[in-house]
Chains A and B, each alone.
Chain A
Amino acid sequence: MTALTTNGILSSTRAELLRLRKWPAVWVTIGAWLALSLMFGYLFNYLSYTSGDSSFSTEGTTKAALLAEMMPANVPDVFVQGMPMFGGALMMVLGAIVAGNGYGWGTWKTVFTQGPSRTSVLAGSLVSVTVAVLGVMVTSLVVDFGCSLVIAGTEGQSIVWPSLGAMVESFGAGFLVLEMWALAGFVLGTVARGPALSVGLGLVWALVIENLLRGVGQLLSPVEAFTEILPGTAAGSLIGSIVGVERGGDGTPGVLDVLSGTQATWTVAVYVVVLPLVALWLVRRRDVV
């Protein structure tokens, strides 16, 4: 890599970070994830625990088990369990708006005339999205620990920390899943040259089509084989390998046990490598009009 490219990537990353940091839509997306994560990870469970009522996600769970789920030792599981479904969907929205809006606003045109090569600009944008994903994860982790400590303190429970290994495993798996969906959104935004179509298509795919295909796959084996390489299946299975999947139970939406942990990790990793290359290929060869 030449010095020119390195400088271009650095300057592009600094520029992208500045504009992402000041973009309300980014904060809304991140805020939505944190709110959903808190609601489904702690709020509903705590309300069920204190009221004794069962919600759809706590049916058949004892109060002791509910409390245990909200303790610091269980943070590695709670932290990642929402990622295959709404965490991934929200990161896909983030990637799609970062890439797609630039076409409608004409900002890519402006940026491509500033000096850095298209490769550098794209790399800078992808690094910035990755920084945003990491920021989301760190914030989410801190908030999850904060909630679990408050609940443990309120309920007079002794504090047991999770093992470092479990934390690293969760963080790594969660990062791969969120990064994959953010990159998928980035590619969709680039393909569609706008955020609306890419967000719509991406969400329908992630939340509906993949589920339907897995349903069909139970009847048709070629479709089943196809579903095993889909991003949703891989992401769900990767998280499923960490948090576990209830056999025959309703379980957490999006968390699957279709693939083994290793297989799922490799599949998600392949997406994380291939998706930026697809975006790069498209951006480099396209006319910017």
Chain B
Amino acid sequence: MRILLICAAGMSTSLLVEKMKKEGEKRGMQDLYIKAEAIDDLARVIDDYDVVLLGPQIRYKEKYVADIAREKNKAYRVIPSQIYGMVDGAKALDLAIDAVKEGK
């Protein structure tokens, strides 16, 4: 599974990426690829991913993300503040997995 995390500059979400990777290893998940990118790069890179997670601090851009996601037929979710703040890799990973299962 390929997960894309999006925030303003891709800096703070990269913290969460590391935690999610560790959690993935712990669960023995194969073929897990997670990366953080800046929102401005979303349209360029979205094709490479199965699901997009949006940092809560740029949820004012949710519509923009939703439009691109719909166009590209990808699932997306806004990461809840608590998960984001505590840099909770397990819950963020669950969020991505559920999003892929449930679809758009």
Q: Is A bound to B?
A: no
